[in-house]
Amino acid sequence: MDHSGAHNRPHVALLPSAGMGHLTPTLRLAASLANHGLQVTLIVGHPIVSAAESKLISRFLSAFPADQVREKQFDIVSVDPATVNSKDPFFIQREATRRSLQILPSLVSSLSPPISALVSDVFLMSPVLEATANLKDLPQYILFTSSARMFSLFASYHTFFSETSPDFSKVGDFIETPFPGVVPIPKSSLPPPLRDPKTWFASTFMEDSKKLSNFDGVLINTFEKLESDSLKGGKLPPLFTVGLVPCEFEKGSEQGGSAESIIKWLDDKEPGSVVYISFGSRTTMMKEQIKEMGEGLVRSGCPFLWVVKDKIVDKEDNDSLEDVIGDAELVEKMKEKGLVVKEWVDQGEVLGHKSVGGFVSHCGWNSVVEAAWYGVRLLGWPQSGDQRINAEVVERSGLGVWAKDWGWMGERVIKGQDIGGKIGEIMRNDLLKSQAEQIGEEARKAVGDGGSCENAMKELIGKWKNE
């Protein structure tokens, strides 16, 4: 099979991992490549777990001509949890994908015209390498969906331990990565499973970290203005800084409540006055915390738009938000000041609305990039995974602040008084406001003609054209 890429209109295949936090940047990359005139095939495992993911893929596919953008499906085999080493649903899903990806070589070979490159989500790198071991001349790239700072940890993680006796206690309180410019990472910011190299997540992370050099390049979803210090490279595959930002095809993908009524509600507010609260696609919040959050939002005195995921409200009891809060007076006050939407809003549309000035976020990386893109200042409250490391980027860049003393979300209940106070602080902070707006302007320059992200994209496309 000729994968030499000597085509004027290269054909690139993209393999996303499950979850909105991974699918969204993959589709943004796919849209950007299609807008640059490339042919794109999305390789998608079915059944897709969530309706939101299916909907987003359909929106993407219908936004481009069928001869330019296609989906190629493969079946995800089911795995008997009794036959795998961990009961963690994420592990079981990964294992199912690993087994199912054995089909990848024949699937890739069936694509016409032949592809110039395969870009896989970072979570799939080992399964992809295993499956494509015989496709030696296929250029392969990784899409890293978190921050460059997190990448510096990923790329060097395997160097911190001796393979025979992984012992995290030997690692100091601050982790020095071999990347020039990366400020040492506090051990306390590491995703909790990575602090114990015996967990399956840490061993997978370590194994993947060693395999980076098998790839021809790594695409990172960030902007120089956010993380110039972390982008100085190292002895690794080339890094391509592709800022992946909300696209046309996503517009109107809102599911909870009515998009029109949300926008109308925002239209009636003063510019920059609204605080938006959302914790990504997977958050759960304790009932006690929901009540305190409601209290805090009212105390902040700001109009607010709060997205509450369905699973937060205990479905078995069929509790409404009113029941969960259990304080009719508070609910009344909340209704006066804010809008509570269940499940989902089109976050890009909300952050891009002129009334929205602040964002309380778990610092999922896509949310950070979106806040940067729209120049909205952020109050970070990490809840798991890479989110503390991302929150450090938020603070260092000047995009926002991180409520460090609140701990990981869910560790303890944070009182409404504290939440209200912190929100009030960021909303009144004019310096933060102008810093965030400047980051937004710089992000637009980076993605525009001659900008660093656009140049990185053109460099990649040039490689795929064999220029």
Ligand X SMILES: O=c1ccn([C@@H]2O[C@H](COP(=O)(O)OP(=O)(O)O[C@H]3O[C@H](CO)[C@@H](O)[C@H](O)[C@H]3O)[C@@H](O)[C@H]2O)c(=O)[nH]1
Q: Which residues bind ligand X (CB under 6 A)?
A: 19-22, 24, 145-146, 278, 280-282, 307, 344-348, 364-367, 370, 385-387
Query: Which residue of the set 3, 11, 22, 353 is catalytic?
Result: 22
Residue closer to ligand X, measured from CB, 26 or 116 = 26
Least spacing, CB of residue 89 vs ligand X, in Å: 14
- What the block records as the tokens of 180 is 């020039």
- Write down the least CB distance from residue 344 to ligand X, Å: 4
Residue 56 Cβ, how far from ligand X at the closest point, in Å? 9
Helix (H, G, I), strand (E, B) or coil at 141: strand
Choose between 384 and 435: whose C-beta lies nearer to ligand X: 384
Distances (CA, A) of 281 to 259, 299, 440, 460: 18, 26, 23, 30
Given 121, 229, 346, 386, the catalytic residue = 121
Beta bridge partners of 39: 11
Closer residue to ligand X in complex, CB, 88/327: 88
Exposed, middle or buried, 329 (CB in 10 Å: 0-12/13-18/19+)? Answer: exposed
Helix (H) or strand (E) holding 154: helix 148-156
50 vs 109 by CB, closer to ligand X: 50
Q: Provide the pairing of β-strand 185-186 with 174-175.
A: antiparallel
Nearest-approach distance from CB 2 to ligand X, in angstroms: 33
- Packing angle, helices 430-447 and 452-464, rounded to 10: 30
Minimum gap (Å) between residue 338 Cβ and ligand X: 15
Helices (H), 219-286: 224-227, 259-267
36 catalytically annotated: no
Min. distance of Cβ 220 from ligand X in angstroms?
A: 11
Q: Label each residue of 174-220 as H, E or C.
A: EECCCCCCCCCEEHHHCCHHHHCCCCHHHHHHHHHHHCHHHCCEEEE
* Alpha-carbon span 351 to 344, nearest angstrom: 13
Contact predicate 52/344, CB 8 Å = yes
Nearest approach, Cβ of residue 279 and ligand X (Å): 7
| Amino acid identity at 78 | S
> Residue 459 is encoded by which pair of tokens?
């460099």
CB of 107 or CB of 305, closer to ligand X:
305
- 3 a catalytic residue: no
Indicate the residue among 29 and 115 with the shorter CB distance to ligand X.
29
What residues have CB less than 8 Å from 171, skipping those under 6 apart? 160, 161, 187
Q: Please name the residue that has the structure tokens 């109050």.
A: 379
Q: Report the alpha-carbon distance of residue 344 to residue 254 in Å, rounded.
A: 6
Which CB sits closer to ligand X, 386 or 442? Answer: 386
Active-site annotation, residues: 22, 121
